[in-house]
Amino acid sequence: MNTIVRTALCTALTLGLSLGAALAADAPKGPVKVTNFGKKAAVTFDHGKHKDVKCEQCHHNAKDGKFTCGECHRKDDDAKTKAPKLESAAHNKDVGVCFSCHRAEDAKHKLKCNDCHKG
């Protein structure tokens, strides 16, 4: 019985690691347009320039098959899913994914709005 349990656990671990590696390997090679519901131009996001950021920081719902921001984060807050609107998810001073690296006072890679929202 122990052998069966150990084999099942090892198989599950191997599959989990393989899935994680597959997800990481599938990042687009070139820039992608990020869904935009605001007044500014859509952001062109380059995964290659963000190699120091863990995928889960942005793709926190990848386990549910949701990889793009706009699948959950819409134009307005969603009371049903409790997902903040896209603008807040990116720019909010407390939880904004983009804000934490690019706009916060102690940001590592400070950018201005039009550096990302071109056009």
User: What is the per-residue pLDDT across 30-82, written as a single tens digit (0 to 9) for each?
Assistant: 888 887 787 888 898 999 988 888 888 888 888 888 888 888 888 888 888 78
| Contact partners, residue 61, CB within 8 Å, separation at least 6 | 71, 72
Confidence (pLDDT) at 81: 78
> Residue 103 — very low, low, confident or very high, per pLDDT cuts 50/70/90?
confident
pTM, two decimals, is 0.64
Across 83-93, average pLDDT: 88
Confidence (pLDDT) at 21: 43
Contact between residue 59 and residue 48 where contact means Cβ atoms under 8 Å apart: no
Domain 28-116 fold is Cytochrome C3 (3.90.10)
